[in-house]
């Protein structure tokens, strides 16, 4: 059976830990490989390699780091099909969705190619007589990234390319559920010209995460995952003096106004609610229909679209939705559907009965649709992370926006309407980090920044874009004067001014 190792100082290593974890093909429901799980020892080795590589890498001119990023982007394009197959075999999403995973990550690599411009400081001449002031951005040091299973290409590519382009060195701890694609990414980084030790990868579980959070030589930690873990990552790493950005969970609402094009809104909900089997932090899991007439029309339009979803192994070319990632995920989603029924929601489409001939052991389920969901139900409160859409009926626009704003999460939201005034008002008043107007999944492009509000983000900066550059660099202000030779002004104990 294939064994997935660690990547430390430019080579594959076993390390000393003898712990392993299973990696499954979710379409088949069978183990296809095992991954080594790091201990403190492997993490420390990776940190030592990164710390040793930092001085030379950080002093390399930014334009030379940019040229490596250009080459890395070319390699990602050349190996896109191979990477997509790795993702699909371990995650389950369709090949097309896996290619999209890679493409959205590549956009951040492309953004990183502009690092000579992005790290420019500011200069002011003569802030005082013969005194100049300027600022520069310098790398933070050794950085680490802890990434989730649902985007094994995109989220690692959100982190380490921009971090190393800024001059940092990096330790990546990907999800142990689908580790093969992240491993291929770091191998391609070396092929692109990234020196040994600049990017390292340790596979592992909580033991590896904890080792990263407390290690004295790691200066910054990036994380994407669930809210409870994001809170833990932030509080623990910050306690040990690290810079932290920790992106948590979501409960994304899409408000459908009475004037909306219902067919357009329904298509958007199918894409945003059931794409990748709902395993996206930006998935829309709640449709807020304004008015009963809107809700009735929306549910009527959604039902046949959900029932006609093409479900199967992600490697098949005509498939729209693959399996969920693990049996544990399947069981959790099923139990939440059962909870929704017991709490009184109307289960209009039940995906639990889906069975795919020839793939009986796979982790497949059909799309589910609930109507008449209320704010106190568990299916509303919890991030289900599966192909389950809930319709909440709101009597008016004000009630709808209040519902969105009361939710503990603040990752993404959307409004579908033909009314520009309503769309503008919603965009200004909604307490959410990313907003879509007639756009169901408002994920910003790479040169803007990704991040939520409230319990969807712990820390001060969002991912990628200029927020990412700020996170991976430190600002230094320099005030300089070159007095004329032989001129002495004496000393003063007064507060210095620039008069």
Residue-level pLDDT, tens digit, the chain, 499 residues: 899 999 999 999 999 999 999 999 999 999 999 999 999 999 999 999 999 999 999 999 999 999 999 999 999 999 999 999 999 999 999 999 999 999 999 999 999 999 999 999 999 999 988 899 999 999 999 999 999 999 999 999 999 999 999 999 999 999 999 999 999 999 999 999 999 999 999 999 999 999 999 999 999 999 999 999 999 999 999 999 999 999 999 999 999 999 999 999 999 999 999 999 999 999 999 999 999 999 999 999 999 999 999 999 999 989 999 999 999 999 999 999 999 999 999 999 999 989 999 999 999 999 999 999 999 999 999 999 999 999 999 999 999 999 999 999 999 999 999 999 999 999 999 999 999 999 999 999 999 999 999 999 999 999 999 999 999 999 999 999 988 776 667 777 777 776 6
Whether 278 is covered by a domain: the verdict is yes
CB 166 within 8 A of CB 68: no
Residue 360 shares a structural domain with residue 463: no
Instruction: Give the count of domains, the chain.
Output: 2
User: What's phi and psi for 366, nearest 5 deg?
Assistant: -85, 175
Signed CA dihedral, 352, 354, 355, 361: sign only: negative
> Are 211 and 266 part of one and the same domain?
no
Per-residue confidence (pLDDT) for residue 254, from 0 to 100: 98
pLDDT of residue 487: 65
**CA–CA dist 176, 187 (Å, integer):** 17
Question: Are residues 257 and 230 part of one domain?
Answer: no
Residue 472's CATH number: 3.40.605.10
CATH number at residue 308: 3.40.309.10
Question: 318 is written with which tokens?
Answer: 């005509």
Q: Within 92-226, where are the H helices?
A: 95-112, 115-118, 154-165, 180-192, 206-214
Task: Judge whether 486 lies within some domain.
Answer: no
Q: CA distances (Å), 148 to each of 179, 223, 244, 363, in order?
A: 10, 8, 16, 19
Report pLDDT for 484.
Answer: 78
**Same-domain check for residues 190 and 275:** no
Return phi, psi of residue 320, to 5°: -100, -30
pLDDT value, residue 493: 77
Q: What is the pLDDT of residue 498?
A: 65
Domain annotation covers residue 85: yes
* 128 and 183 housed in the same domain: yes
Question: Would 125 be classed as within a structural domain?
Answer: yes
Q: Is residue 89 part of a domain?
A: yes
205 & 265 share domain = no
* Residues 470 and 377 grouped into a single domain: no
Q: Is residue 446 part of a domain?
A: no
Same domain, 198 and 300: no
User: Among this protein's residues, is 281 annotated catalytic?
Assistant: yes
The residue out of 437, 469, 490 marking a domain boundary is 437
Range of the structural domain that residue 275 is part of: 252-437
- 239 and 321 in a single domain? The answer is no
Beta bridge partners, 322, equal none
Strands 20-25 and 30-36: antiparallel
Question: pTM here?
Answer: 0.95
Q: Are residues 91 and 54 in the same domain?
A: yes
Looking at the structure, tell me whether residues 57 and 188 fall in a common domain.
yes
Among 197, 175, 155, smallest CA distance to 7 is for: 197
Quick check: is 497 in a domain?
Answer: no
Assess whether 233 and 358 both reside in one domain: no
Does residue 200 belong to any structural domain of this protein?
yes
What contacts 27, CB < 8 A, 6 or more positions away? 92, 312, 313, 314, 315, 322, 323, 359, 362, 363, 364
Among candidate residues 113, 143, 166, 281, the one labeled active-site is 281
- pLDDT value at position 478? 96
């Amino acid at each position: 059976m294939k064994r997935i190792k660690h990547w430390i100082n430019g080579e594959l290593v076993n390390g000393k830990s003898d712990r392993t974890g299973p990696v499954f093909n979710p379409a088949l429901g069978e183990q296809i490989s095992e991954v080594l799980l790091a201990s403190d020892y492997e993490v420390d080795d990776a940190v030592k390699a990164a710390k040793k590589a930092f001085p030379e890498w950080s002093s390399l001119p930014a334009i030379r780091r940019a040229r490596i990023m250009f080459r890395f982007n070319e390699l990602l394009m050349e190996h896109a099909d191979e990477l997509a197959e790795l993702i699909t075999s371990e995650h389950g999403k369709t090949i097309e969705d896996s290619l999209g995973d890679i493409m959205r990550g590549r956009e951040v690599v492309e953004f990183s190619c502009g690092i000579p411009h992005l790290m420019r400081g500011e200069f002011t001449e003569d802030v005082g007589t013969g005194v100049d002031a300027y600022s520069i951005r310098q790398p933070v040091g050794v950085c680490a990234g802890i990434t989730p299973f649902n985007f094994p290409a995109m989220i690692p590519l959100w982190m380490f390319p921009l971090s190393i382009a800024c001059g940092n060195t990096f330790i990546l701890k990907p999800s142990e559920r689908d580790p093969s694609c992240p491993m291929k990414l770091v191998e391609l980084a070396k092929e692109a010209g990234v020196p040994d030790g600049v990017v390292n990868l340790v596979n592992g579980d909580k033991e590896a995460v904890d080792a990263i959070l407390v290690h004295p030589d790691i200066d910054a930690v990036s994380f994407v995952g669930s809210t409870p873990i994001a809170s833990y990552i932030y509080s623990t790493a910050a306690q040990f003096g690290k810079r932290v950005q920790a992106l948590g969970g979501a409960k994304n609402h899409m408000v459908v106004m009475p004037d909306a094009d219902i067919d357009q809104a329904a298509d958007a909900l199918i894409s945003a609610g059931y794409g990748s089997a709902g395993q996206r932090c930006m998935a829309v899991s709640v449709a807020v229909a304004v008015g009963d007439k809107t809700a009735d029309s929306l549910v009527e339009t959604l039902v046949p679209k959900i029932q006609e979803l093409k479900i199967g192994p992600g490697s098949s070319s005509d498939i729209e939705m693959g399996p969920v990632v693990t049996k544990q995920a399947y069981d959790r989603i099923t139990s939440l559907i059962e909870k929704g029924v017991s709490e009184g929601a109307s289960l209009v489409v039940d995906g639990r009965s889906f069975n795919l001939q020839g793939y009986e052991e796979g982790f497949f389920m059909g799309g589910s649709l609930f109507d008449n969901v209320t704010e106190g139900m568990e299916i509303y409160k919890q991030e289900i992370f599966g192909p389950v859409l809930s319709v909440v009926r709101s009597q008016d626009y004000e009630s709808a926006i209040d519902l969105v704003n009361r939710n503990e999460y603040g990752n993404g939201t959307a409004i579908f309407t033909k009314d520009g005034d309503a769309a503008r008002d919603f965009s200004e008043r909604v307490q959410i980090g990313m907003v879509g107007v007639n756009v169901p999944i408002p994920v910003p492009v790479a040169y803007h920044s990704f991040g939520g509000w409230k319990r969807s983000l712990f820390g001060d900066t969002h991912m990628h874009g200029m927020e990412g550059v700020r996170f991976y660099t430190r600002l230094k202000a320099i005030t300089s004067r070159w007095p004329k030779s032989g001129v002495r002004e004496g000393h003063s104990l007064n507060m210095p001014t620039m008069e």
